[in-house]
Structure 1
Amino acid sequence: MKLNEIRDNEGATKNRMRVGRGIGSGKGKTGGRGVKGQKARTGVAIKGFEGGQMPLHRRLPKRGFTPPNAKDYNEVNLGRIQVAIDAGKLDTGATVTVESLVAAGVVSKPRDGVRILGNGELTTKLVFEVAGASRSAAEAIARAGGSITMLAGGVTEASAPEATA
């Protein structure tokens, strides 16, 4: 194979549709735009326009606050971890970390870490090394004979700031 012989697979690329090139093309005359009116013309931006009336999205007050440095954790229930153990995807002897959960297919990508939640039942003794855990998850892990280590910067229910309404 030579560089000048490299091609895309058959059917991998399609030629773009040339609109407005006659009735025989199938996209002639109105060029797929329907007929008449502002939306048939070019340069239309009327998504939130209400005929001059103050649009709804501008009438309503702005609410809330999005923290600029918020952490994005994978939230994993204990039941999901037990299913992975039963399927033989997680090693019970090794420490359960973000990397091992990604390798087992429990979470798709590492993000900012893993937070264990208490939904489901854990019957296997495991050692966890994660960013955080709910109180019920920590109790369930202790009941099963395992232990949990919080990584630096992790969040537990006890250390999380109280939500105010």
Structure 2
Amino acid sequence: MREHEVRPQRGSRKLRRRVGRGTSQGQGKTAGRGTKGQLARTGPGLPGWFEGGQTPLHMRVPKLRGFKNRFRRTFVAVNVAQLGNYAADGKVSPETLAAKGLVGKDARIKVLGDGVIGERLEVHAHSVSATARKKIEGAGGSIVIIGA
């Protein structure tokens, strides 16, 4: 036996369905399309998203409301209680916070007033809440607003 004489196992390869080639084939006459109607006719048929007259999904789903502000400024919240852990020579800035891994290098910082502050710090931040300002200045520290 040679390579060109090798044949596939009997029954392992199916012949393709030849529709509309006589009734004895089993797929003659209507060729598996049923009788009459839009789907029995020639041409491209219906689009894949057509749901048979039922209200389509894209019309049943509610519309997206509102808008996204392209100019929104996001802040990373840092509480007063955390400031002492990330101070370098009595100073806290976005650079010192980024160096210690608390925030990313381009993060905008907002200091919030949760917790107590025990030491005098010079805080550099983009924004500070009223409670945080009161606590920092009450401890003898100062606040420098970046970009103001």
Structure 1 length normalisation: TM-score? Answer: 0.51
What is the CA distance between 1:57 and its match in structure 2? 8.2
72, 96, 100: which one aligns with 2:96: 100
| Superposed counterparts of 1:69-148, under 5 Å | 69-82=71-84, 84=85, 89-91=86-88, 93-107=89-103, 109-148=104-143
RMSD: 2.7
Corresponding letter in the other structure for 2:101: G
Q: Which amino acid aligns with 2:140?
A: G
- What are structure 2's unaligned runs of at least 5 residues? 1-47
Partner Cα separation in structure 1 for residue 60 and residue 145 of structure 2: 44
Deviation, structure 1 residue 58 = 5.6
Question: In the comparison of the two structures, how many residue pairs are matched?
Answer: 99
* SS in structure 1 at match of 2:64: coil
Amino acid at match of 2:141: G
Tell me, yes or no, if the aligned pair for 1:131 and 1:151 is still in contact at 8 Å.
yes
Identity across matched positions, percent: 24
Instruction: Point out the structure with max Rg over C-alpha.
Output: 2
1:127 and 1:67 mapped to 2: Cα distance?
33
TM-score w.r.t. the length of structure 2 is: 0.56
Cα deviation code 1:5-60 (max 9, x no counterpart): xxxxxxxxxxxxxxxxxxxxxxxxxxxxxxxxxxxxxxxxx9xx8x5644378632
Q: Give the direction of change, closer, same or farther, for the CA distance of 1:57–1:136 in structure 2 (3 Å limit).
A: farther
The residue type equivalent to 2:87 in the other structure is L
Q: CA deviation at 1:64?
A: 2.3
Cα–Cα, structure 1 residues 57 and 104, in superposed 2: closer, same or farther, change >3 Å? farther
